């Protein structure tokens, strides 16, 4: 795992939409830096200038400052801009901007205490039925063997392979407690809540081997719930899919 | 609590009995209403309306909110605002 | 011990706010109780709107018995306010009568409740059966605990509070009023619990 | 009986100090118990920092003191790490900071500052403390029950908390005690502030500390009960196997979960919990702002810049804190409209915080600033709370929260507000009011020896966490080395851990100073800081009933350097000319 993906700041971004999240984070941090420097250089200056020393008296009436109210209005306007120009559009695209169903690769991600079950529909693009009663250690997804549509399905544990440049729609759910499906390099995170199916979408622009992280405390194995998130070129992906279908 | 003179208290007692009768009647009414074959939505609205009337009667007369001081009413208004927010926001989770 | 050591506005209202300490205190407590039952009703709404197969209350629960229970609680509300009015009329005997009635009616409410619960347990309907029973038992159970608390307070004022009547009549009246406000609130909660659980 | 008839003669020891009804004794009881729990919570964190800095390596020296269920051969187990995490949060918030800020300072200073002889309901005040004490004992004891203490985070999200070991039940029962303690306490504070103000002390003349405690009491009064309701529901889920928070069809480690009918909703717990927890974090910060403004006014020898702006901001902050809670839940599949609503309210709530911080900074302009120990802590609070508030902005916008949610960025954000923020303000308050409580002053040199290292080390601990957060390092990880994206920031973990242990050492001057000064501190008169508020007109330490003669208030709380006056401070209760 060569390490130029990750460092001290934001990890590498290989998602088609991740740059907008990064842009927002960077813009906010510039706003924060300006506010912080402004506030505290003024603080340091007034500490120095108005330190108590012989002959220096405190004033009862100080002049009414106009600038702070102007600054506060400015901050309010900045926040409105951050909300309307950045946050709302990004969130709208993140939750409502799903790609057309026929063009996307559909995947089911079922979280459980301490692993990610990945369920591909296979060439017929139809998921086989699954039933919690059939779930066992050998059949973590509870796939129904009698369902004809499920025979070509592919299911893996902790192995999420996707082709480059193809949008993916993942339907997220959990078998036991709340987990949180997090792909640092895709700037994607979504809680997997038992009893709910939440779908999210993402599209990779570069191939490589990355990882899935669990971002919500889910028990004593929460730290070791690491999955492999591999983005392959198209043909490499198809080969992997075929090979996975046989095992 | 108007004055503490005996007639004032007598009048108060009469209103308490009147309120009691009203509450009893409303209880019978709301139970009766449940036997009407209303849709769930209509049933909810009707039942809550009757319950609110009964509640206001108890609060206004028995709890003397009718003649209560501003500070107590302000406190209750604040509590009711957050009560309503707490009541509906969680179930609007998916909106 | 300087004269300044005495806490003011215990029996006589504050000149500006117009209320005594105990009245403002009990209304603050009732505001927090509004939020407590608000949390429970919010859970009820979320759970009910989250499922499609929530049974209708009157198909499962015993409505006539609950109607009787509502009448019992309303009557106890009236006797409670009459007990307070008796103190205003300086009649200790009337106060004792109405306060005893209030306590007895409160106990009657609990007896009916116990009967209802026993009937459910016999038929193996427990809080764990489904979320309808879970909500029913939790909401009425917590309300029942509040009724028990109210009965204990009323009993205290019936048996021991009376001694305060000779020394500090106004303070006893203030405290009985505070206990009354709490008791009316418990009745108010039942006025909403009854249709929500039993009739909808 | 308006006042204990037994006051004619001296109270027995246990009535005077253990089951006391004097707000000052109760305040000190709260403060000391709060400090002990703060130290205990700090020790839990120091253990966690070993595991984060050197994952899987045995803890030297004290490693083998722990039972097999916690550490095997000194190597910490994941479940014990989760217990430390959950209890560090719970103890610091509910058993440490709130009792110290509200129970300790509120109880001790508020009646004195409004010229009241005591709290409106002294016995209720005593009951509040002992409910808090019982809750604290339950929380402490829960470490020794089978399965250990609660380990689902201080937030105890369902269904994880519902299927957790028995320590979670102890946590819930302990929380029930703490909730009712704070609830009864808030009733006491509201009634005392409204009813027992000295003559002439109108609301517009109240010191800002009293305003902050008053608003805090409303937060406690109206926000805690929904958590009580949630605790009842979770107790029913755990003990009576109801399914309030348990959806249908749960499968836990391979088997279908028996005994739960299902149909519940896991997000319901989050709504009820955060409905309390957000006002709770404002309960943590508002008293700190109150303490800071008192100390800044007194040590700049001039009135606060915008008293009205401060008061309106703190009232508006209190109100808004009830309608922002779901910004903790952006990623739980919330609908777009609700998510937009909570983003807007979260942005709106940042305005009063900015106004308060700006007003406090502007209060320095034109002053004659004395750098006493409390003033140092108060001045350090301003930039630290600034960073804490600013780092809340990216988390408040759900688009940026996608990447930053549940990472070390969140840990850095709220610790900046609570640690160098609230806890520095509490230290400032202790140094400031110690002379009023004991009649002696804390040593200045030891104070500065406590301040400077703590100030530097706090930043060495929490600034790197923000960097880790940007890298996407998740919180509550027993062993961060498992994730490739966390490995580059591992040296930061070592740096943070060493700074944390040094911060522990840096508290020794304070502990020594605290106990030494009680007996050996420099004796002071009743107004060592020459302050104007009412508590400085009472003797130090004030007798039962506080004031020899009931004070009458003639002017605002911060009349410093009034032109034409002999002294540069004009106490509120002093007659016209001084």
Q: Do B90 and C42 touch (CB under 8 A)?
A: yes
Question: Residue A3 has what pLDDT?
Answer: 60
pLDDT at C20 exceeding the cut of 80: yes
> Which of D218, D332, D335 shows the shortest C-beta gap to B95?
D335
Is residue A119 located within the same domain as residue A227?
Answer: yes
Domain coverage including residue B45: 1-63
Is residue B37 located within the same domain as residue B80?
Answer: no
Give B54-58's long-range contacts (Cβ < 8 A, gap of 24+).
Answer: B54/B23, B54/B26, B54/B27, B54/C191, B55/C188, B55/C191, B55/C192, B57/B19, B57/B22, B57/B23, B57/B26, B58/B19, B58/B23, B58/C77, B58/C184, B58/C187, B58/C188, B58/C191
3-state secondary structure chain C: CCHHHCCCCCCCCCCCCCCCHHHHHHHHHHHHHHHHHHHHHHHHHHHHHHCCCCCCHHHHCCHHHHHHHHHHHHHHHHHHHHHHHHHHCCCHHHHHHHHHHHHHHHHHHHHHHHHHHHHHHHCCCCCCCCHHHHHHHHHHHHHHHHHHHHHHHHHHHHHCCCHHHHHCHHHHHHHHHHHHHHHHHHHHHHHHHHHHHHHC
Question: Residue C5 has what pLDDT?
Answer: 53
**Residue D241 and residue D260 in contact, taking contact as beta carbons nearer than 8 Å:** yes
Phi then psi dihedrals of residue D539, to 5 deg: -60, 165
> Which of D218, D226, D267 shows the shortest C-beta gap to B86?
D226
Q: Tell me which chain B residues have a C-beta less than 8 angstroms from the C-beta of D338.
A: 89, 92-93, 95
> Dihedral (C-alpha) D3, D8, D12, D14: value to the nearest 10 degrees?
20
Q: Tell me which chain D residues have a C-beta less than 8 angstroms from the C-beta of A177.
A: 157, 159-160, 163
Nearest residue of C to residue D4, measured between CA atoms = C6
Give the whole-angstrom CA distance, residue D119 versus residue C31.
20
Per-residue model confidence as pLDDT tens digits over C42-93: 999 999 998 888 998 888 899 999 999 999 999 999 999 999 999 988 889 9
Tokens representing residue D438 in the block: 């004991």
Q: Tell me which chain D residues have a C-beta less than 8 angstroms from the C-beta of B90.
A: 267-268, 271-272
Q: If you average pLDDT over residues B71-86, what whole number do you get?
A: 95
Q: Do C35 and B1 touch (CB under 8 A)?
A: no
Is residue A114 located within the same domain as residue A223?
Answer: yes
Domain coverage including residue A83: 18-51+63-96
Q: Angle formed by the axes of helices D490-506 and D508-520, to 10°?
A: 10
Per-residue model confidence as pLDDT tens digits over D69-121: 899 988 999 999 999 999 999 999 999 999 999 999 999 999 999 999 999 99
3-state secondary structure D319-383: HHHHHCHHHHCCCCCCCHHHHHHHHHHHHHHHHHHHHHHHHHHHCCCCCCECCCHHHHHHHHHHH
A122 part of a folded domain: yes
Is residue A47 located within the same domain as residue A83?
Answer: yes
> Which of D194, D272, D334 shows the shortest C-beta gap to B93?
D334
End-to-end CA distance of chain A: 26
- Assess D558–C contact: CB distance below 8 Å, yes or no: no
Q: If you average pLDDT over residues D247-276, what whole number do you get?
A: 92
Tokens representing residue D478 in the block: 């027993």
Nearest residue of C to residue B79, measured between CA atoms = C31
Question: pLDDT confidence of B3, banded at 50, 70, 90?
Answer: very low
Name the helix (H) or strand (E) containing B82: helix B70-88
| Domain extent listing, chain C | 17-199
Q: Tell me which chain D residues have a C-beta less than 8 angstroms from the C-beta of A211.
A: 483-485
Q: If you average pLDDT over residues B39-52, what whole number do you get?
A: 91
Q: Tell me which chain D residues have a C-beta less than 8 angstroms from the C-beta of C8.
A: 195-196
Please give chain A's pLDDT, 247 residues, in tens. 456 889 898 999 999 999 999 999 999 999 999 999 999 999 999 999 999 999 898 889 888 888 888 999 999 999 999 999 999 999 999 998 899 988 999 999 999 999 999 999 988 888 888 888 888 888 888 888 888 888 888 889 999 999 999 999 999 999 999 999 999 999 999 999 999 999 999 999 999 999 999 999 999 999 999 999 999 999 999 999 988 887 6
Is residue B48 located within the same domain as residue B74?
Answer: no
Neighbouring residues of D195: CB distance < 8 A, sequence distance ≥ 6 = C8, C9, C14, C17, C19, C21, C24, D120
Per-residue model confidence as pLDDT tens digits over D283-341: 999 999 999 999 999 999 999 999 999 999 999 999 999 999 999 999 999 999 999 99
Whether domain C17-199 has CATH 1.20.120.80 = yes
CATH number of the D15-247+261-537 domain: 1.20.210.10
Q: If you average pLDDT over residues D228-248, what whole number do you get?
A: 95
**Domain total in chain A:** 2
Phi then psi dihedrals of residue A212, to 5 deg: -100, 135
> Which of D79, D159, D568 shows the shortest C-beta gap to A194?
D159
Q: Tell me which chain D residues have a C-beta less than 8 angstroms from the C-beta of A185.
A: 485
Is residue B13 located within the same domain as residue B58?
Answer: yes
Give the whole-angstrom CA distance, residue D168 versus residue D160.
10
| This prediction's pTM | 0.95
Complex ipTM > 0.90: yes
In this structure, the strands spanning A188-192 and A227-232 are unpaired
Question: Residue D180 has what pLDDT?
Answer: 97
A3 part of a folded domain: no
Is residue A68 located within the same domain as residue A159?
Answer: no
* Closest Cα in chain B, distance from residue D268 (Å): 7
A1 part of a folded domain: no
Question: Residue D29 has what pLDDT?
Answer: 95
Q: Do B20 and C31 touch (CB under 8 A)?
A: no
Is residue A230 located within the same domain as residue A167?
Answer: yes
Q: Do D303 and A60 touch (CB under 8 A)?
A: yes
Q: Among D262, D283, D41, which residue's Cα sits nearest to residue D158?
A: D262
Q: How far from C161 is each of B23, C172, C180, D1, CA to CA, in Å?
A: 30, 7, 14, 11
Question: Residue A145 has what pLDDT?
Answer: 86
Q: Tell me which chain B residues have a C-beta less than 8 angstroms from the C-beta of D247.
A: none
Question: Residue A135 has what pLDDT?
Answer: 86
**Residue C116 and residue C159 in contact, taking contact as beta carbons nearer than 8 Å:** no
Is residue A105 located within the same domain as residue A85?
Answer: no
Mean pLDDT of the residues in chain D: 93
**Residue D367 and residue D302 in contact, taking contact as beta carbons nearer than 8 Å:** yes
Is residue B58 located within the same domain as residue B36?
Answer: yes
Give the whole-angstrom CA distance, residue D506 versus residue D423.
14
Nearest residue of A to residue D466, measured between CA atoms = A9
In C146-175, the residues whose Cβ lies within 8 Å of chain D are 167-168, 171
pLDDT at D4 exceeding the cut of 50: no
Q: Among B51, B56, B58, which residue's Cα sits nearest to residue C193?
A: B51
Question: Residue D549 has what pLDDT?
Answer: 86
In C22-81, the residues whose Cβ lies within 8 Å of chain D are 24-25, 28-29, 31-33, 35-40, 42-43, 46-47, 50-51
Is residue A82 located within the same domain as residue A170?
Answer: no
- Assess D58–A contact: CB distance below 8 Å, yes or no: no
**Domain total in chain B:** 2
Question: pLDDT confidence of D8, banded at 50, 70, 90?
Answer: very low
């Amino acid at each position: 795992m060569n390490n130029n993906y990750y460092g001290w700041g934001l990890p590498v971004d290989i998602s088609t939409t991740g740059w907008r999240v990064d842009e927002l984070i960077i813009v906010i941090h510039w706003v924060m830096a300006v506010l912080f420097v402004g506030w505290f250089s003024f603080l340091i200056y007034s500490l120095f200038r108005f330190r108590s020393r012989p002959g220096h008296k405190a004033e009862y009436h100080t002049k009414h400052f106009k600038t702070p109210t102007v600054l506060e209005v400015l901050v309010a306007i900045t926040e409105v801009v951050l909300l309307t120009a950045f946050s709302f559009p990004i969130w709208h695209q993140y939750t409502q901007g799903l790609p057309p169903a026929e063009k996307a690769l559909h995947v089911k991600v079922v979280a459980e205490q301490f692993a990610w079950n990945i369920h591909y529909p296979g060439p017929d693009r139809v998921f086989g039925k699954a039933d919690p009663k059939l779930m066992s250690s050998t059949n973590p997804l509870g796939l129904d063997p009698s369902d004809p549509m499920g025979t070509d399905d592919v299911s893996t544990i902790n192995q999420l392979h996707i082709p480059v440049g193809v949008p993916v729609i993942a339907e997220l759910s959990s078998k036991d407690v709340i987990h949180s499906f997090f792909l640092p390099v895709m700037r994607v995170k979504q809680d997997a809540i038992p009893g709910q199916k939440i779908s999210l979408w993402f599209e990779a622009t570069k191939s490589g081997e990355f990882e899935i992280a669990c971002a919500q405390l889910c028990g004593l194995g929460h730290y070791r719930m690491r999955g492999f998130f591999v983005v392959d070129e198209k043909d490499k992906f198809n080969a992997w899919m075929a090979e996975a279908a046989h095992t | 609590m108007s004055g503490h003179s005996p007639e004032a208290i007598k009048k108060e007692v009469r209103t308490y009995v009147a309120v009691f009768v009203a509450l009893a009647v409303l209880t019978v009414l709301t139970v009766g209403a449940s036997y009407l074959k209303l849709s769930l939505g209509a049933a909810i609205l009707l039942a809550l309306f009757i319950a609110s009337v009964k509640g206001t009667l108890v609060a206004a007369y028995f709890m003397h909110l009718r003649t209560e001081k501003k500070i107590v009413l302000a406190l209750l208004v604040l509590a009711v605002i957050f009560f309503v927010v707490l009541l509906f926001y969680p179930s609007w989770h998916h909106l | 011990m300087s004269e300044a050591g005495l806490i003011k506005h215990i029996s006589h209202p504050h000149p500006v706010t117009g209320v005594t300490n105990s009245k403002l205190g009990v209304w603050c407590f009732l505001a927090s109780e509004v939020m407590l039952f608000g949390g429970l009703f919010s859970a009820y709404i979320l759970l009910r709107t989250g499922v499609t197969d929530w049974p209708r209350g009157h198909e499962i629960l015993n409505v006539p018995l609950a109607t009787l229970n509502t009448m019992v609680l309303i009557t106890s509300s009236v006797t409670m306010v009459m007990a307070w009015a008796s103190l205003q009329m300086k009649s200790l005997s009337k106060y004792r009568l109405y306060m005893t009635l209030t306590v007895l009616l409160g106990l009657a409410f609990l007896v009916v409740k116990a009967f209802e619960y026993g009937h459910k347990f016999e038929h193996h309907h427990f809080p764990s059966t489904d979320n309808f029973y879970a909500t029913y038992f939790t909401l009425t159970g917590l309300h029942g605990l509040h009724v028990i608390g109210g009965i204990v307070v009323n009993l205290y004022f019936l048996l021991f509070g009376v001694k305060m009547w000779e020394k500090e009549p106004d303070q006893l009246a203030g405290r009985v009023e505070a206990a009354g406000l709490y008791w009316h609130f418990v009745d108010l909660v039942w006025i909403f619990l009854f249709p929500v659980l039993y009739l909808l | 009986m308006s006042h204990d008839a037994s006051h004619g003669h001296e109270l027995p020891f246990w009535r005077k100090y253990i089951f006391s009804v004097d707000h000052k004794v109760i305040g000190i009881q709260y403060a000391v118990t709060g400090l002990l729990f703060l130290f205990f919570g700090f020790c839990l964190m120091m253990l966690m920092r070993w595991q984060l800095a050197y994952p899987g390596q045995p803890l030297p020296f004290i490693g083998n003191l722990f039972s097999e269920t916690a550490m095997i051969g000194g190597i910490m187990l994941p479940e014990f790490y989760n217990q430390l995490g959950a209890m560090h949060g719970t103890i610091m918030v509910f058993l440490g900071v709130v009792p110290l800020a509200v129970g300790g300072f509120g109880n001790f200073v508020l009646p004195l500052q409004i010229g009241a002889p005591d709290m409106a309901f002294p016995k209720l005040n005593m009951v509040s403390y002992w409910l808090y004490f019982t809750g604290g004992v339950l929380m402490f004891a829960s470490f020794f029950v089978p399965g250990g203490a609660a380990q689902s985070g201080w937030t105890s999200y369902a269904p994880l908390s519902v299927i957790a070991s028995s320590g979670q039940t102890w946590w819930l029962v302990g929380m029930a005690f703490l909730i009712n303690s704070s609830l009864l306490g808030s009733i006491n504070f509201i009634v005392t502030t409204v009813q027992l103000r000295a003559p002439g002390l109108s609301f517009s003349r109240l010191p800002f500390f009293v305003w902050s405690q008053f608003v805090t009491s409303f937060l406690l009064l109206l926000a805690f009960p929904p958590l009580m309701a949630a605790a009842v529901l979770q107790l029913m889920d755990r003990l009576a196997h109801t399914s309030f928070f348990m959806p249908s069809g749960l499968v836990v480690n391979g088997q279908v979960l028996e005994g739960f009918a299902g149909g519940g909703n896991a997000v319901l717990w989050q709504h009820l919990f955060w409905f309390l927890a957000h006002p709770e974090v404002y309960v943590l910060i508002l008293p700190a702002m109150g303490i800071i403004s008192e100390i800044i006014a007194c040590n700049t020898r001039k009135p606060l810049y915008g008293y009205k702006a401060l008061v309106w901001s703190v009232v508006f902050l209190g109100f808004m804190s009830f309608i922002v809670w779901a910004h903790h839940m952006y990623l739980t599949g919330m609908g777009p409209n609700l998510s937009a609503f909570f983003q807007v309210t979260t942005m709106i709530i940042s305005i009063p915080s900015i106004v308060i911080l700006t007003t406090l900074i502007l209060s320095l302009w034109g002053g004659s600033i004395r750098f006493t120990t409390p003033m140092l802590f108060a001045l350090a609070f301003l930039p630290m709370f600034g960073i804490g508030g600013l780092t809340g902005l990216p988390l408040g916008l759900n688009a940026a929260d996608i990447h930053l949610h549940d990472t070390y960025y969140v840990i850095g954000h709220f610790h900046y507000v609570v640690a160098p923020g609230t806890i520095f303000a509490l230290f400032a308050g202790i140094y400031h009011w110690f002379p009023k409580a004991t009649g002696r002053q804390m040593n200045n040199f030891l104070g500065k020896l406590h301040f400077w290292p703590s100030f530097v080390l706090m930043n060495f601990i929490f600034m790197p966490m923000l960097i880790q957060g940007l890298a996407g390092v998740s919180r509550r990880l027993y062993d961060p080395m498992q994730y490739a994206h966390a490995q580059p920031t591992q040296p930061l973990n070592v740096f943070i851990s060493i700074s944390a242990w040094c911060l522990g050492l840096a508290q020794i001057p304070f502990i020594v100073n605290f106990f030494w000064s009680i007996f050996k501190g420099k004796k002071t008169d009743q107004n060592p800081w020459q302050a104007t508020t009412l508590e400085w007109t009472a003797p130090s330490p004030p007798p039962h009933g506080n004031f020899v003669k009931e004070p009458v208030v003639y002017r605002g709380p911060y009349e410093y350097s009034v032109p034409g006056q002999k002294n540069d401070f004009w106490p509120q209760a002093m007659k016209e000319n001084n």
